[in-house]
Amino acid sequence: MEQLLRILEELHPEVDFKTSKSLIDDKILDSFDIITLIAEINEEFDVRIPVDEIVPENFNSAESLYRLIQKLQDED
């Protein structure tokens, strides 16, 4: 989780990603951020996020994004 928080904080240092639950809904993360996140997650965690998993509920919080990463790692 710390690796993911570091990636998120590099994108938006002003956001408290540990508590925020509406990153997409509140427009904190935009489409460019999502693309950057997907690339960073691919490199850092060695997982590919399938297109059908790129939905707001998977990116609304660091926790939900981390659960997605864990799920994808378990599938490998």
Task: Dump pLDDT digits (tens) for 10-59.
Answer: 999 999 999 999 999 999 999 999 999 999 999 999 999 999 999 999 99
Mean pLDDT on 57-72? 97
Q: Which fold has domain 2-75?
A: 1.10.1200
Domain residue spans of the chain: 2-75
DSSP string, 18-71: TT-S-TTTTTSS-HHHHHHHHHHHHHHH-----GGG-SHHHHSSHHHHHHHHHH
Place of tokens 């460019």: 32
